[in-house]
Structure 1
Amino acid sequence: MKECVEKGETPFFINATAGTTVMGAFDPIDEISVLAKKYNCWLHVDGSWGGSVAFSENVLREKNWLKGSHVADTFTMNPHKLLGVPLQCSMLLTPHEGNLLFAKHNTLKADYLFHGNPYDLGEGTLGCGRRPDAAKMFLTWQYYGRQGLGDRIDQALATASKFSQRVKERSSRGFRLVKDPCPFLQICFWYIPPSMAKLPEADLDLSKITRTLHKKINESGEFMIDYAPLAGVPDFFRIVINAPSVDCDRDLVRLLDCIERHGQEIEWA
């Protein structure tokens, strides 16, 4: 920011992320908000994935994940991700109600639909007359309440923590966490087959191992899993904990067993 100003440039927008897609990292929004105020920048928080933790009193009390987000100019949240609201449900929140910023810039002057009434909310959305996403969130909130939605998040965090521990417990059997502790609900790890356990680190092609196991397991029909890339590290398994129906010891430990079994059966060149 300082360098931009010194060059005669004008910084005007800062994007902070609350829960990155691959690893689930949270930017220090509170610290970033200080910079936004200092340089008079618009602060947007992308909470598409992690923003829904706002419903958990435990998270708000014990974590700093969303600290400072209350001063953001805009905040996005996708309840269809973490809260299990039916697809699609995305929202853009802003405190700038007075100038009707988004309605002014999104409106197409569709006089056959809108007549300047205060309930013509379609003018303020990109979707116009398409499905009312807000209704899905409203009904979900009415049914579960804030406590119910918060409990869903707390349960997911507890399951993720437990699964992360189960992966660590198998470190002597070839499992290795990408990040310990895991930042959020994405448990990311590698598996090294016994036949490769004694190879030098430089000779391990972890990306190839991950992709091979991914293909083998998906084709077996036992599990449908995915892997993820990340700059600077080999491809890894990425297990996202969300659904309340998933049990760590009943389901996820069985997944680790499956990975281990196939890893031992494959003839690695």
Structure 2
Amino acid sequence: MELAAYFTNKIKNTEGYEMVVEHPQFLNICFWYVPRRLRSMSQKDKMSALEKIAPKIKGQMMERGTTMVGYQPDHKRPNFFRLIINNQAITEEDLDFLIKEIIDIGIDL
């Protein structure tokens, strides 16, 4: 649970990230990464454009062979990342790397 709280706090305080659920429960953290060009859009236009962002970022991460994080939509919201932290080998450094990797890939999408 400490790592989930750590990751949630980092996401909330890192530019470009938005929580899908403001206060995640347990180990399931859902979030969007919002590239620069989308940040000034209306909420409606941003949500429409976000549909394509998580799949593109995940594809690049898989090509690089660095990390693999799931994404999914629900019936109300566009694709978002869904990170489940249930591996005791994960460290804060791993989570910091994931945050940076998503930014590096997604900032200019």
Q: 2:53 aligns with which of 197, 209, 212?
A: 209
* Match of residue 64 from structure 2: 220
Q: Once superposed, what is the RMSD of the aligned Cα atoms?
A: 1.2
Q: CA deviation at 1:195?
A: 2.0
Q: CA deviation at 1:202?
A: 1.5
Which runs of no fewer than 5 residues in structure 2 stay unpaired?
none
Secondary structure of 1:233's partner?
A: coil
Deviations 1:204-250 (A, max 9, x none): 211111111111111111112211222211110011011111012x1
Q: CA deviation at 1:264?
A: 2.4
- Structural mapping, 1:183-198, within 5 Å: 183-198=25-40
Decide whether the 8 Å contact of 2:34 with 2:107 is kept in 1.
Answer: no
* Match of residue 41 from structure 2: 199
Calculate the TM-score normalised by the size of structure 2: 0.90
Decide whether the 8 Å contact of 2:57 with 2:105 is kept in 1.
Answer: yes
Letter in 2 for 1:242: N
* Match of residue 19 from structure 2: 177
Letter in 1 for 2:101: C
The structure 1 segments of at least 4 consecutive aligned residues displaced by more than 3 Å after TM superposition are none
- Structural mapping, 1:98-247, within 5 Å: 157-170=1-14, 173-204=15-46, 205-247=49-91
Q: Distance in 2 between matches of 1:222 and 1:258?
A: 8
Question: Does 1:262 pair with 2:105?
Answer: yes
Q: Distance in 2 between matches of 1:210 and 1:197?
A: 15
Of structures 1 and 2, the one with the larger relative CO (CA 8 A, separation 6+) is 2
Aligned length: 107
Aligned-pair identity in percent equals 31
Q: Distance in 1 between matches of 2:107 and 2:6?
A: 25
Higher-Rg member (1/2): 1
Which runs of no fewer than 5 residues in structure 1 stay unpaired?
1-156
Deviations 1:25-68 (A, max 9, x none): xxxxxxxxxxxxxxxxxxxxxxxxxxxxxxxxxxxxxxxxxxxx
